A and B are shown apart, each in its own frame.
Chain A
């Protein structure tokens, strides 16, 4: 029987977090490496109800395997449904645009005449996600450093709880807030300053009075991915053994030097993993972005211009797609999004796992 092989007791992460970290104590050195006893192995193998046991076992295996099944099913459905668009455009879909013969301007997305190119959506997704990372990563790491290394104990639990709560607020509610609070705020106070101060770079051109656009999407995305990045970073930093911190401190380092050399350097792979996981979230985020990005398929240098993202265009056009080709093109966008997020997530999970191996993981 399998159970008898590797006995392992894991503790829930949050339990560890609420405890004051004693010096010298590592999460990975938790006690109670309990052995599943020989008696147990014997009792399991006696099999006075072997048939029922085996049936139960396989039922559980089946359900667990269904998770694989779901991933495969999603992939095949998307591939099958996007065949028409793939047949019509091939790889051109992702990097070429139809050039209007009269005006000489590129037409990226024209459902009426059947011209489809993923370019503006790829651009929008990348720009808004990287903008979000740019804003969120320094803040998230700052928060994580504060929470693990500096925070007084009484403040730690409420802050952690708040982060958890904010990670659970639905996208559409962030979108609602963004439409009524963030957009007016940016439009009235932030955008004029950016246009005045940085307008000469071309990134902040004054030609969009709506307040919607890449920048707004980036800001709301940053707010949304902050809790995820900071809680994962915190997890990774907690996994750094205390002996590392003590060793650096023993050499006469200040607290910041201890954090920089003892903690951040050891946790850097995991932090990169956390950031990439945040990127994965930002890439696929739909509702909040669809509500504030302006939804026009164009590529503009200005971050204040309207744009669109892969997920936003699917959300907006899928239900009323005008033709099979249109539907298929949207499916292909979905497939691309699926593949990219799977790769990004798998990569990030591996990185986080490499660092927190041996310490318990929790669901995010």
Chain B
């Protein structure tokens, strides 16, 4: 009887895994397949065309996403890395550091749509109109907790001996942190930033009422701008086959970006010993 229960439990666990993995693999394969047949060169080089015409692409949305992510990275990455440096180098074990780590984790769980309305009332309302800048701010804020926590994790992997060697040479502490510790962990920190980058690259909810979207070409920070995930959202809900095709193609582009970032992170962290030191 007991061995029977054991067998049943094992079977159930395997079944659960299959039940989970099979559809997940199916989603993935389906996305890649649909994206691959929908993607063509025009997707990258053309702007959207009006309803009824075939062809066209999402060039404006790709550029828009790049600009939004650029602004976001400028805000999120420096603050995130600095926060991580504090957690790993200065605050280790202190109550303040624990509180900040906790807040970062909690901030990570705040829905992106809430970030969106907060940035709307912080930036869009005073500015008086939707803008690429406000979208960038929203994405930047969302990057901070992820960048901060991965930076901390990477810095904690740097052996003490490296820091001590630097200090023993009479290097001031800030120099030692920036050019020795951070440099040693740089591969990990960069991939951490890429992970945060990839995550916000797919964010749609905070952009709806900050970047707003734009059917035409725009590269001005002060104007509404198109973004890849926003475009996917709009096109997916439209009744036109041609737009659906573009949505799938856009999804594939986003997924490739994300797969690259995640595998890179995995590769760097699984290497264990950070190679940057040599």
Contact = CB atoms under 8 A, between A and B. Distances in A.
A175 B236 contact: yes
A226 B17 CA distance: 11
Given A44-B167, A169-B255, A363 B146 contact: yes
Central interface residue in A65, A168, A338, A342, by most chain B CB within 10 Å: A168
A176 B232 contact: yes
B41 interface: no
A9 interface: yes
B251 A7 contact: no
Given A70-B144, A162-B24, A49 B2 contact: no
B86 A56 contact: no
B79 A49 contact: no
Given A37-B164, A60-B90, A319 B150 contact: no
Contact of B107 (A9, A53, A67, A139): A67
Interface string A16-53: 00100000000000000010110110011000110011
Nearest to A163: B24
Of A149, A150, A319, the most chain B CB neighbours within 10 A belong to A319
Contact of B172 (A39, A52, A175): A52
Contact of B6 (A18, A254, A315): A254
Given A146-B13, A319-B208, A168 B258 contact: yes
Contacts of A74: 110, 114-115, 118
A141 B109 CA distance: 21
A14 B79 contact: no
A77 B247 contact: no
Interface stretch (B43-51, B54-62, B195-203): B195-203
Given A142-B16, A161-B266, A168 B118 contact: no
B23 A223 contact: yes
A251 interface: no
Most buried by A among B5, B13, B91: B13
B93 interface: yes
B237 to A, nearest CB: 6
B156 interface: yes
B111 A311 contact: yes
A78 B27 contact: no
A138 interface: yes
A41 B196 CA distance: 35
Interface in B185-220: 195, 198-199, 201-205, 208-209, 212
B211 to A, nearest CB: 11
A281 B115 CA distance: 14
Given A63-B79, A254-B5, A364-B108, A171 B205 contact: yes
B237 A179 contact: yes
Contact of A64 (B27, B100, B270): B100
Nearest to B210: A319
Interface residues of B, number: 113
Interface in B79-113: 79, 82-83, 85-87, 89-94, 96-97, 99-100, 102-113
Interface centre among B86, B99, B116, by most chain A C-beta atoms within 10 angstroms, is: B86
Contact of A168 (B92, B167, B170, B198): B198
A188 interface: no
Interface string B139-166: 0010011101110010011011001100
A318 B157 contact: no
Nearest to B7: A256
A341 interface: yes
A319 B25 CA distance: 35
A325 B127 CA distance: 20
A229 to B, nearest CB: 11
B278 interface: no
The 7 residue pairs across chains A and B that have the minimum distance between CB atoms? A170-B202, A142-B16, A284-B111, A63-B82, A56-B174, A6-B93, A49-B172
Interface of B: 2-3, 5-6, 8-10, 12-17, 19-21, 23-25, 27-28, 30-31, 78-79, 82-83, 85-87, 89-94, 96-97, 99-100, 102-118, 120-122, 141, 144-146, 148-150, 153, 156-157, 159-160, 163-164, 167-168, 170, 172-175, 177, 195, 198-199, 201-205, 208-209, 212, 229, 232-233, 236-237, 244, 247-248, 251, 254-255, 258-259, 261-263, 266, 269-270, 272
